Structure formats: C-alpha cells, structure tokens
Structure 1
Amino acid sequence: MPWAIINKFYPRACENRLDISHPEVKAFRAKFFRAALLNFVIYILLFFCLFCYLYGTLFQQVPRTHNLHILWVDYDGGIIGDAVRNAYNSLRSHEFPTLIERSASQYPTPNDLREAVCNTHFWAALYTSPGASAALGLATAGSNTSQYNTSNVLTYIWNEAKYPTVMDSAISTNLHTLSDAARVSYIALNGTSVFPTIPPNNSAAISIFTNPWTLTSINIKPTVQGTRTVYNTVAIVLILIEDFFYLATINGLYAQFRVYSRIAPVRIILVRDAISITFTMLGSLVNSAAIWAFKANWHVSGGQFALNWLIIWLLAHTNFLVFDVFTIWIPPQYVSMALVSWIVMNISSIILPFSVSSPFYRWGYALPAHAAYELLTDNWSSGCNPHLSYALPVLFAYEVIGLILTAIGVYKRCHNASILEETTKEAMRLRVEAALELEREQDTFEAQESSKKDSQHPGTGEPSRATTNTGTFQGDNEASRRQRRQSNVEALDGEIRRIETRASMLSNIGPTFRLIGSEDS
C-alpha cells in the first residue's frame, strides 16, 4: 500500500491528530473556510481584472492602425504620385495607416524625411523620387530601358527597432500593399495612352510597363533576429522576477541574523543599497550579454552594449526599490497581489505602442518599464527615438523616491525589531512566571494532602466528624482554588497570545527566503 510506504518514511505524521468532530477542530473550522473563501474570491477577481487589463491592451489593435501616421511627399509631381493617391484612397480605412501628404518645400530632401522619422514625428515616410514619372515614360517608350532603375521610384523610410513586430505588420506590409495597389492604379491611369507607344519587340520596355517600380526600403535599424520578440515581454518579466526573489532572499538573511536589532540603521541602509546596486548591476550585465550573444546579424556596437547595460541596470534597481517599498509599507497579505499587478501593468505598457491601444493605457507613460523601453529603443537605433526628456525623469523619480522610502523603511524595521525583542522577552517572562506559579500551587496542594492524612484517627484510619466537616470545607476551598487557577491560566494565556500576535506583526519584513549557505546564525 502506498500509504504504508509513506508512513514508514514519516511515522509521526499521523500522531496526536484530532478527529474532525473534536471541539477544537469545530472551533477553528468555520474561520478556516471563511478565510479560504475570502482569499479564493479575492485572487479570482484580481487575476480576472489583470487578464482583462492585459487583453485590453491588445483589444481592437487592428482597427486602430489608422493612428499610425506616415509622411508622404511627392518629389516627382507626376502620374506616379497620382497613382499613389488613388491607391491610398481605395485602401483608406481604420485598418490602414494614415498617409499625411506634405509639400516638398516643407521637407526639401529625403534626408529631412529620415530626420522626421528618426525624431518620431511619424512612424514612417514615403516619397517619390524627382523625375520618376518622366523616366518611367521614356523607359516604356524604349528610350532608356538600360538606365531605368525600378528601385529609384518609390521609397519608404522606417525604424524597425521601434516595436519590430508592429512595424513589420502594420507599416512595412501595408506600404507594400499600397505600392502594389499604386502599380495597378498607374496602369489604369496611363495604360491606354502608353501601351501603343511600347516598341513591340522591346521586352525590357514591356517588363517596365507591367512592373514599373519596386518599393525600396530604407530601414534605420534592421531588427530581424528572432530574439527581438521577447525584448519587451519575457526579458522584462524576468528582470522583475529576479529582483523580487533576490529581495525576498535578502529579507530572509536579515531576519535570520537579526540584523535590524543589532546594527545601526544608517549602516543597514548603506549596506542594503550597496547590495542592491551590485546585484542589479551584475544581473543587468549578464542580461545584456545574453542579448548580444544571440543578436545574430543585428548590427549594434560595443558602445550600445554599454548603454544597454546601464539602462537595464537603472530599470532593475528601480524595480528592486519598488518591491522593497511594497514589502515595507503594504500589509504582507497583499504583497503578492501588488507584485503580480505591478508586473502585468509594466508589461502591458510596452507590448504595443500606445498609438494602437486604447487611450486609457497611456497612463503607462508613468511606469518604469515603458520609460526604459523608450531608452532602449533610442539606444538600439542610434538616437532615433529621442524621448529622453520624459523617460529619464520618470526612472530617476522612481529611483529617488524609492531610496527615500526604503531608507525610512529601515528605521521602521529597526524600530519594530527593538519592540519585537521586548515583547518576546515579556512573553517568555510570563511563561516562566506561569510555570513557577503552577509549581508553587502543586507544592501547596501536596502539603495540604499530607496534612489531611495526619488529621485522621490513628486506630481505625477513619476521620472524625470534625475532620469530615473540615475536609468538606477544604474540598470546597480546593474547588474554588482550581476555578481561580483556571481563570488565571486562561487570562495569562490570552495575554501571552496577544503579545505573540503583536510580535508576529512586528517581525514581518515581507516575503523571505532562506539564503543558501546561511544555516548558521
């Protein structure tokens, strides 16, 4: 039997167990199930709300694609530009990026378009090359087919490092669709007049007429490696979880060695900050090293590696401080809820750009993960996401506030640790006094029993009537003493439980794990 085998290894597991109908079990059974049901409901509702929050980030993403604005400049001013306009009018919808046309005088050169995209004024820029329509007309007429370049007609500029999966699907794919539709529109607009002019035996001219251009991509930072899909999801989650678990380990170490009751608060603050800074620094270093180890053909430099390390370090230390604030100021039963909520909200702020999410989620600008991802994107694309003006202040605000609150928290924990030692000593004193009182009462009882035996008649061994009456009176006194002793014991037990409950509340410093190698304290 499996149970027999288990009992063989754990023979005392079933010793001195109470029956389900025992009064003591009945006393706490209702409280147990009430607390279990309350937490059951709270966690179900919490995770339901978190799932809704997370899914809400992705909800109706495609119908908001029109919020992605693409700059369109027609340097050619010919029929190719007309074809692009007609194609866009046929494709225009909530599920297609918005094409915003500007004059060539506003953006005189393609380099100005690149700057507009680099400065995130637009998600991409599309333009026709000067003289493209005239060159195409000559090529279809067979005049300059050898010099005609189909790649120098319609070009778009974009930055794939900025939310690469969104850029691929919503920007690059849709612009290729627009280019294909513009080719069809060009033939519809110009086919009747051009086709008779094509030399019948000129295959190059016929090929140019049927395929007048190929959409050219100028990608500011190509980001095609497979690992790119986790940079704004799993990688950030692991950073947050790493911080939380090490914080819990450090808390366990401080509790095990009773640091808060032995060391001065200022020294504790300095040591904790040094530990957290060192840990997050090394953790961020190996995180960045892993990104660079699997970057494949992603062209990023050593200087970008150093900045990547510093940004992740700032994010990690910021969150370490946030989690420490949680464990200091939030009641312990709610810390796990705060942790998972913080992780979900931070990840939701960087899964998708705010342009394709509900406006409600734009409060995520205030979250450290979003600020850090903006800095990382700026670093990866060599400055083509210049949002440092708000991203750095957000992170530094968390850093400064976190350092202040955790420093105050050290004083709080040291204060509680001192009171905890006092209450623990008081509980121990009461227990010792209770044990001595019981011992004195036992000695008194034994002395009374001995006196009663001496008062009996020596011949018959029977007590006299007077002795009997005295015994009855003494029995009454004994019952009264027992009742009084029972009341005193119950009152003392209540006082000890109250002290121990207070000590338990004071001793809580948040989630704690035992540190490996710290068996001796």
Structure 2
Amino acid sequence: MRSIATFLYPHARDNRLPASHPVIVKARLAFLKAAGINFVLLQLLFLGLFCYIFGSLFQQTSHTHNLSILFVDYDVGGAIGNSVRAAYASLRAPSFPTVVERSPSQYPSTTDLREAVCQTDFWAALYVTAGASGRLAAALAGGTAAATYNASDAMAYIWNEALYPQVADSSISANILLLSNTARVEYSSGNGTGNISSVSGPASLSILAQPWTLVSLDIQPTPQGSRAIYNSVAIILVLIQEFFYLGIINGLSTQFKLYSRVNPYRIALVRNLNSLAYTFVGSLCVTGAIWAFRSGWDVNANQFALSWFTLWLFAHANFVVLDVFTVWLPPPFVPMALVGWISPNVTSVLLPFPLSPAFYRIGYALPAHAVYQILTDIWSGGCNPQLDYALPVLFAWELLGLLLSGLGVFRRCHFATIAEERQANEFDEQLDAAVGLEMVKMQEMRKQSRIEREAEIEERKSWPEGGEGREGRPATRTGEEEEEETQVFKAQLADVMERVNTRQRREQEQAGVPCGFGPAFDLAFSKPADDESE
C-alpha cells in the first residue's frame, strides 16, 4: 500500500538519481562542505553571544559594592547614627552597597539629598532626622514621650525605583532595609550603641522592640509587573519589528524592479518616508502597550508623548542601521549580523554598568543603552540626567545610518542596472548560439538535399528511355529518422547553451562584485507589474 505522502505527492520520487551517481556525489560533497562551514560559524557566533550575555551577569552580586548609598546623620553624634555605622561595619562586603557618609553641611536638607539621587550621584540617600536619638531615648524612659513617640520620624531613605527597577528593589531597597534592621538590633542590644540601662512601662517595651520604622521616599514607584521587560523583550521586539519590515520593503523593491527603473534619489526619499511612517506608528503601538499595562503607574500624557518620540528615534535609527548591514554585508552574513546586533544592545541594558565587568561599558556607544537612559529620565521626571550623551548617541546612529543607507540605494541601483544588462547580454548570447546552431543545421540540411538531388539526377540519366529505375524514386525519411535528428539537434543545442552558461558564470565569479539587496520577503497579495502593460 502506498504511503499517504506518496499518494498526496505522486511525482515526488520521479526522476531520482541513485546515490552513487556522479552528479549526486559532487552535490553531496558541496552540500556537506557548505553545511559544515555554516555549522561552525553559527556555533561560534552563538557561543560568543551567550558568553557575552552571561559574562555581563557573571558574579553580579560581588559587584554590588559598586552601588553607592549616601548617608547623612542630621542627628549628629546620636545613638541611631552610631547604630547605622555599627550595622554597616558588620554588613560591609562586596555583596553589599557602599555606604558613603557625608556631613549635614554638605547636604543641609532632604531636598539636597533628593537632588543628589535625582542627579544619579548616588543610588539612594539614607538619613537620620535631627533629634531622633533624643526623642527615642525619652520615649524609652516612659511618660508622655512614649505615648506621643512617632517611630516614622527617625530614619528614611530616598531612591528612584524607575532606574532599573529590579536592581533597585533587590540591591538598593532590600539592602537598606537590612541595614536598618541590623542597626535596630545594634541599638537594642544590652551593650549596644543605644546604651539602654532601663525601660519603663509597656509602651516603652513596644518602642524598644520597634524603635523606628524606616520610611521609603520613592521618587518614581515602579511596581508593575511589565517593568521586567522594558529593558529586555521590548528592545528585542522593536529591533525584530524593523528587520521584518525592512525585508518587506526590499522584497517589494526587487519585485517591481525599482532599483533599475527609478531615480535613486527618489528611491531613497520614498524609503525614508516609508520607514519614518512605519516606525512612527510602531513606536506609538509600543508606547501605547506600555501605558495600557502600566497598572496604576504614575505617568502622564507629556511623558507618553516624550516616550513615543524617543522610541520613534530609536526604531528608525535601528531601521537604517539594519539596512546598512543588508547593503554592505554578504547576504549569508546578514542573519548573523542581526543576531550580533540584538545581543549586545540588549546586554547593554540588562544591568547597570556598575554591576558588570568594566569591559561592558562599551555599551555606552549602543542605541539601546541610550534609549533606555532617556526613557528612565522621562519616566522619573528628569531624575536620570543622561541626555548629554544619550541623545547624541542616538542621533549619531541615525545620521550615520541615513548616510550609509542612502549610499546603499545608489549601490543597489548601480548593481541592479549591471545585473539587468548582464542578463540581457546573456539572453542575446544564448539566442545567438541557438540561432547559429540552427543555421548550421539548416545549411547541412540544404547541402544534404542538394547532394540527394544531384544523385537523383545522375541516377535518372542511367535509366532506360521511357522507363524507371528498379528502386523507383528515392525513399523519403521515416518518422524515426526525423525524431533521431531532432534529438541530436537538441543535444547539440544543450551542449552549446551549457558552454555559454558556464562561461557566463565564470565571468560573474571573476567579477567578484557582491551587492546585498537585503532580506526580501515575498507577499502573497503583491504582484510585479507586467512588462507588457508598461
């Protein structure tokens, strides 16, 4: 019984050559060689990319000390401040942020502390309020002070959760909370920094168990779940989105033979306008999705518009950069270039650079890092002032991409024209070869016909008068003979055409002028205009 596959596709096994056939042997060797080379290249590429990404995350915890926290004790010389110092001395390690103490004269008010965090001089600012130790000591002594004691008016910290939210939560906020709890233990211990000798009354006992409540002053709370992909999947999808539309544009340009028919200036203008419109709408969709799933995130319409335009610039810069890759790189390397472009860009925003080895600071030059810094600045109300380098980086990629992409249009037009001329010449050569062979055949047929006629005349002369030869008139060619002549002619024509094609391929290889027209995706609903209708 025939298999279902054979039943559905009955001609799938027709005209198959045996495995030992010279053509198959030659093709098999070429296939294995090409597959082996690409096997090695792709394995090395992805191994390098995996090592690059994992290297940026390697020993992340041991780099936590590169994150600095400002500490200011407004309760100068108080027991609470001493507790914090003692707690930090016990917690100090490579896996704990560095606490940098400054005097109140350098930061006279909490507004100055907020500004220091806002300007990214520090990742957070921890402070003890003035008179906090005295109020706590009075409350522990009992009386009305214990009844009116406010545990939240002792210690607080200022931070910006919008700046790498997951890192800020785990490495900054959680560690400051650990520092506060350790300081509380230091304060409450019998021989601790609080120097507690006695406690009066149940209210005071309750205060001793919880001497203060650490207050969190978050510049931009960012608790929504979608924050986890702002610096990962969202960046990847934007890059892939541009690559696929670039493939569609290239496919349409090739289908309609624009590169050999339309002025390159017009092509470059239309491509840029098209890509600008596409990235404009695409960035609107991305920003709209962020806002739709912000889950109570406190951002406004102005921040929406600024985010939209920032993502627009980022998307279009990547569009033209990917276009440059498709023009100047050999076609087999374009997919590798895409992956090689996405990976470093995403790696540059996975973690803040202080948590990665110093080598990864090359990410400052990548557009993904720049756009994330700008977006963080927008979302936190200007509390990530990195625009002085982030905007120039984005515009530099945009301008460089526009320049090389425009030049790439001329390159495509140049080689498209050469390709069409070569194709026309090839057709003419093949036609001339076929016509020449046909003319030779016709000449041979005329010569043969003339010889036959002369032979017939000579034979007629030898006939008796009024009679005919014993064999009569020369016999006409049979159908088998005509078929045999046709097959011989086809074989001769095929041999000539093969020689012409071989020579043309050799000339093309010797020319050695590769031009990448870029990835091209065919569309089922698009058809090139018929030449006859033009």
TM-score by length of 1: 0.91
User: Aligned AA for 1:441?
Assistant: V
C-alpha distance in 1 between matches for 2:445 and 2:526? 50
C-alpha distance in 2 between matches for 1:194 and 1:27? 90
User: Aligned AA for 2:425?
Assistant: E
Name the SS for the 2:28 alignment partner.
helix
Is 2:216 the partner of 1:208?
no
C-alpha distance in 1 between matches for 2:70 and 2:357? 23
Distance 1:203 1:6, change over 3 A: same
C-alpha distance in 2 between matches for 1:79 and 1:482? 105
Match of 1:473 in 2: none
Match of 2:72 in 1: 73
User: Aligned AA for 1:519?
Assistant: K
Shift of 1:22: 1.4
Name the SS for the 1:71 alignment partner.
strand
User: Aligned AA for 1:116?
Assistant: A
Is 2:61 the partner of 1:53?
no
C-alpha distance in 2 between matches for 1:59 and 1:5? 52
User: Are the equivalent residues in 1 in contact too, given 2:433–2:496 (CA < 8 A)?
Assistant: no
C-alpha distance in 2 between matches for 1:259 and 1:388? 40
Match of 1:509 in 2: 517
Match of 2:62 in 1: 63
C-alpha distance in 2 between matches for 1:438 and 1:15? 32
User: Are the equivalent residues in 2 in contact too, given 1:265–1:411 (CA < 8 A)?
Assistant: yes
Match of 1:13 in 2: 12
Shift of 1:193: 8.0
Distance 1:433 1:506, change over 3 A: farther
User: Are the equivalent residues in 2 in contact too, given 1:251–1:511 (CA < 8 A)?
Assistant: yes
> Which piece of structure 1 moves more, 144-153 or 54-63?
144-153
Match of 1:386 in 2: 385
> Which piece of structure 1 moves more, 138-147 or 177-186?
138-147
Partner residue of 1:495 out of 496, 503, 514 = 503
C-alpha distance in 2 between matches for 1:383 and 1:358? 27
Match of 1:158 in 2: 159
User: Aligned AA for 1:83?
Assistant: S
Deviations 1:361-400 (A, max 9, x none): 0000000000000000000000000000000000000111
Match of 1:130 in 2: 130
Question: Percent identical across equivalent pairs?
Answer: 50
C-alpha distance in 2 between matches for 1:37 and 1:116? 56
Name the SS for the 1:145 alignment partner.
helix
C-alpha distance in 2 between matches for 1:96 and 1:196? 32
Is 2:154 the partner of 1:146?
no
Distance 1:18 1:484, change over 3 A: closer
Is 2:313 the partner of 1:314?
yes
Name the SS for the 2:361 alignment partner.
helix
User: Aligned AA for 1:72?
Assistant: F
Distance 1:483 1:232, change over 3 A: closer
Match of 1:270 in 2: 269
C-alpha distance in 1 between matches for 2:297 and 2:236? 23
Distance 1:14 1:447, change over 3 A: farther
C-alpha distance in 1 between matches for 2:40 and 2:516? 25
Is 2:179 the partner of 1:178?
yes
C-alpha distance in 2 between matches for 1:518 and 1:269? 21
Name the SS for the 2:332 alignment partner.
helix
C-alpha distance in 2 between matches for 1:9 and 1:142? 93
Is 2:226 the partner of 1:218?
no
C-alpha distance in 2 between matches for 1:162 and 1:371? 13
User: Are the equivalent residues in 2 in contact too, given 1:430–1:496 (CA < 8 A)?
Assistant: no
Shift of 1:24: 1.7
Deviations 1:56-98 (A, max 9, x none): 1110100000000000111112011111001000000000000
Q: CA RMSD in A?
A: 2.4
Name the SS for the 1:197 alignment partner.
coil
User: Aligned AA for 1:319?
Assistant: N
Shift of 1:154: 1.2
Shift of 1:498: 3.8
Match of 1:98 in 2: 98
Distance 1:89 1:297, change over 3 A: same
Name the SS for the 1:157 alignment partner.
strand
Shift of 1:514: 1.4
C-alpha distance in 2 between matches for 1:7 and 1:288? 51
User: Are the equivalent residues in 2 in contact too, given 1:427–1:500 (CA < 8 A)?
Assistant: no
Shift of 1:342: 0.3
> Which piece of structure 1 moves more, 137-146 or 281-290?
137-146
TM-score by length of 2: 0.89
User: Are the equivalent residues in 2 in contact too, given 1:424–1:500 (CA < 8 A)?
Assistant: no
User: Aligned AA for 1:176?
Assistant: L
C-alpha distance in 1 between matches for 2:491 and 2:283? 67
C-alpha distance in 1 between matches for 2:510 and 2:271? 26
Distance 1:236 1:487, change over 3 A: closer
Deviations 1:127-185 (A, max 9, x none): 10000000000000013122211111111110000000001000011111111110111
C-alpha distance in 1 between matches for 2:23 and 2:56? 50
Counterparts of residues 451-490 of structure 1 (less than 5 Å): 455=455
User: Aligned AA for 1:89?
Assistant: A
> Which piece of structure 1 moves more, 428-437 or 42-51?
428-437
Shift of 1:30: 1.5
Distance 1:516 1:348, change over 3 A: same
Counterparts of residues 41-440 of structure 1 (less than 5 Å): 41-77=40-76, 78-143=78-143, 144-188=145-189, 196-199=197-200, 202-440=201-439
Aligned residues: 499
C-alpha distance in 1 between matches for 2:210 and 2:340? 53
> Which piece of structure 1 moves more, 324-333 or 510-519?
510-519
Name the SS for the 1:292 alignment partner.
helix
Match of 2:474 in 1: none
User: Are the equivalent residues in 2 in contact too, given 1:124–1:158 (CA < 8 A)?
Assistant: yes
Shift of 1:18: 1.9
Deviations 1:201-221 (A, max 9, x none): x21111111210111100000
Shift of 1:19: 1.9
Uncovered stretches (5+) of structure 1, i.e. residues with no partner = 462-480
Distance 1:83 1:508, change over 3 A: closer
Name the SS for the 1:100 alignment partner.
strand
